[in-house]
Structure 1
Amino acid sequence: MRKPVIFCDFDGTVTKKDNIISIMKKFAPPEWEKWKEGVLSQSVSIQEGVGNMFALLPSSLRQEMVDFVLETAEVREGFGEFVRYTEKQEIPLYIVSGGIDFFVKPLLEPFHSISGVYCNEADFSGEHIRILWPHGCDQACPSQNCGCCKPALIRRIASQGEHTVVIGDSVTDLQAAKIADSVMARDYLSEKCTELSIPFQPFDTFYDCIDRLEKLKQNIR
């Protein structure tokens, strides 16, 4: 049987809401919204949009933002069970996130069996926050400005012959969905997959994802 390997988004997928949006609504001046709209319309790159959003925020807000996310972020139903399921089934589970390390990693700390976490990083050494991009695009990526390039990570991590599964909800997951063997999608990503005729399975909770994986195991022999 072909072995599945999972690449799962974080904001809006593991968590119910996008934490970058929540942070901006709470702490940023109104001009952050033009960058959000640019990213959603794909008129500006994810890297440019997210970088400029965080550049609006002073570094002195670091602990206040961490506390805010830890207090307000809700993990989607079934995620703990999903992590345990993948561990029991020996299915590698990677979190690939356009989010930022200062809130992604603390929220994932209780889930010890995740195979790896890949996200962007924040530099708080200056007056304003600067976003770093340690997981950039490879030569095969048409964008070259993804920020955290999920297709490049899939190409780098997945072994030949493995069945790649992408789970996500947003514009940051679209390019990954285009190259995955299987896609589980909700919200914006499901709309774009429908529009672009990318096959996908809808999900609302991670219990749905467990069911999809159980059925998938029967189909990828």
Structure 2
Amino acid sequence: MTATDVLTGQLDLLTLLELQTLPTAPLHFTVGHYRPDELDAAYEYRAKSDGRMGVSNWSRQWNGNQTGRNVTAGSAHRTFTYGADLRCNEHWRNPDCQCMGDLLYRVYCHDCDWWGGIHENENQAVEDMLNHCWPGWQYRPVVTSAVKPNGGYKFNVPEDYPKEWQYPGAPVRTARTAMSGRHVPGRGPWGGYDVGVMEAGE
């Protein structure tokens, strides 16, 4: 390889770097109003240089990898749940770590172009969204459910369950036991959130 070839290769690389377009969303934690696709692009951009573990541990960026999306066809409110880890990198190996920071969550409604508040609990973030998108959800009857032999869930919805709450994307409230109270996106009988309600005494 000649000196000219090396120089040409360097110039080509510099040209590519100059032409590379940075994501719209910042490569760090933000409270700004960015769409999920913008946050995803920023997360993927940084993951290319830092790796998956690096971007999760150091960037503090919002990402939907550990949460979920509720995008049932026909739903009036397609939602995206995002998390950000603001804890230091000692939290998982040092139980006495006293650093500031926590896992944070927020939910975006695509159809309203609306972000909910930032919460330290995923269920709270989901309920914030439900209050905005599905007012009155907390007054719906609680139903029971069971795991089907071939996978999935069977919901025991009574005949008098409100018809106006039986359409694509609508949430359902299900009775749960301890340690199983997470609000699960897309698992409800109408493709909406399966909202966990702790049974009395739990």
Report the TM-score range of the alignment, normalised by the length of the smaller protein: under 0.3
Greater RCO, CA 8 A, separation 6+: 1
Greater share of residues in helix: 1
Greater share of residues in strand: 2
Question: Looking at CA atoms only, which structure, 1 or 2, has the larger radius of gyration?
Answer: 2
- For normalisation by structure 2, the TM-score amounts to 0.27
